[in-house]
Structure formats: structure tokens, C-alpha cells
């Protein structure tokens, strides 16, 4: 597999809407596999295809158990509660902010065989679902987060 280049804020591709996957082809499978390798190397917990320059509705999310979920044409079908936590993004390096997200999220998607499934996540996994699905709409976490610098992060951590 290949390690793909993660595009950064300022690249106009990040602001575009991703198109649905109409057929799961070998190219889509290769994209998912390459995204998996890229995510692993990046140290992140989620990656949308648009972040590697592909405008397709494909997302990977690492759940609380460390399993990487492959989501094709994902959509959020339920949200519960709320959380206000620190969030960052591989495409917005060295920037962090507090975001308001649901505490629990349920997503419906297709797997690599084209079978529909639903999956729920809480806490970080729920936040990651929302974050990555926002990418598919051209939305970055920084659009609705209170931004902090790295120095503020360190000071915030020391106070806790």
C-alpha cells in the first residue's frame, strides 16, 4: 500500500463537497487501504478521503478499542447528549480548539463489500465521526472551534 499526502488548510479541495461512492471498485478498495496506512503513520484517529485529495464519501475512524472503521457514504442517523472537548486535525496542524459535539453518535454506512451497517460511538469516537463527516461537506473543525495555540494547550494541561 501507499502513504498518501495529507493536504493542509488553505488547499481549496478541503472546502469542496465530496461525492457519493456509486460503485465499490478496486480503486475505492485501494483508496481505503492506502488511507488506512496513511492514518496509521499519521498517528491520528480519523481520516476523510478529501484530506488526501479524493472527493469521495469515504472515511476511516479509529474507535475506542483501536479498531479502524471503514465508512463508505456515511451519514449520521442519531445524536445524543453533548461534549465540549479539545479537537485537532491532521489537515490543520498545530492548531487545537474546543468544539461542541454530541456525546453519542450513530452512523449508517456501507462496508467495503457494499453491505449497509450502523455503528455507534461515544466520546472521542463520536467526536471523530462528526469531525470526519464534516470534512465530506467541506467543513473544518476550526470553522466552529475556539482556537488555542500550542502554548495555551501546555498551560491548560499544567492547570489540570
Residues labelled as active-site residues: 132
| Cα 10 from chain centre | 18
Task: Express each pLDDT in 25-80 by its tens digit.
Answer: 999 999 999 999 999 999 999 999 999 999 999 999 999 999 999 999 999 999 99
pLDDT, mean over the chain = 92
> What gap in Å lies between CA 57 and CA 50, rounded to an integer?
8
50 DSSP 8-state letter = G
Q: Are 47 and 24 in contact (CB under 8 A)?
A: no
Is the pLDDT at 160 greater than 80, yes or no? no
The predicted pLDDT at position 149 comes to 59
Is the pLDDT at 148 greater than 70, yes or no? no
The predicted pLDDT at position 33 comes to 98
The predicted pLDDT at position 25 comes to 97
Q: Which grid cell is 75? A: 451519514
Q: How distant, in Å, are the alpha carbons of 36, 90, 113, 156 from that of 52?
A: 12, 10, 22, 31
Average pLDDT over residues 93-98: 89
56 DSSP 8-state letter = B
65 C-beta neighbours (distance < 10 Å), count: 6
Is the pLDDT at 152 greater than 70, yes or no? no
145 — pLDDT class (breaks 50, 70, 90): confident
Is the pLDDT at 151 greater than 60, yes or no? no
> What gap in Å lies between CA 106 and CA 112, rounded to an integer?
19
24 C-beta neighbours (distance < 10 Å), count: 17
Q: Which grid cell is 158? A: 499544567
Question: Does the pTM of the predicted model rise above 0.85?
Answer: yes
> What gap in Å lies between CA 68 and CA 40, rounded to an integer?
9
- Identify which has the larger pLDDT, 160 or 129: 129
122, containing H or E segment: strand 116-122
CATH number of this structure's domain 12-159: 3.90.45.10
126, containing H or E segment: helix 124-136
Is the pLDDT at 155 greater than 60, yes or no? no
Amino acid at each position: 500500500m501507499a502513504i498518501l499526502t495529507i493536504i493542509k488548510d488553505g488547499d481549496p479541495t478541503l472546502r469542496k463537497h465530496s461525492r457519493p461512492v456509486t460503485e465499490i471498485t478496486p480503486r475505492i478498495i485501494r483508496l481505503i487501504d492506502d488511507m488506512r496506512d496513511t492514518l496509521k503513520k499519521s498517528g491520528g484517529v480519523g481520516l476523510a478521503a478529501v484530506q488526501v485529495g479524493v472527493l469521495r464519501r469515504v472515511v476511516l475512524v479509529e474507535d475506542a478499542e483501536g479498531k479502524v472503521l471503514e465508512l463508505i457514504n456515511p451519514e449520521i442517523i442519531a445524536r445524543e447528549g453533548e461534549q465540549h472537548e479539545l479537537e485537532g486535525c491532521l489537515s490543520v496542524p498545530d492548531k487545537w480548539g474546543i468544539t461542541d459535539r454530541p456525546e453519542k453518535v450513530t452512523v449508517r454506512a456501507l462496508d467495503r463489500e457494499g453491505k449497509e451497517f450502523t455503528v455507534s460511538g461515544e466520546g472521542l469516537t463520536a467526536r471523530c465521526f462528526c469531525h470526519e463527516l464534516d470534512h465530506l461537506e467541506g467543513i473544518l473543525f476550526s470553522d466552529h472551534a475556539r482556537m488555542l495555540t500550542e502554548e495555551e494547550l501546555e498551560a491548560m494541561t499544567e492547570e489540570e
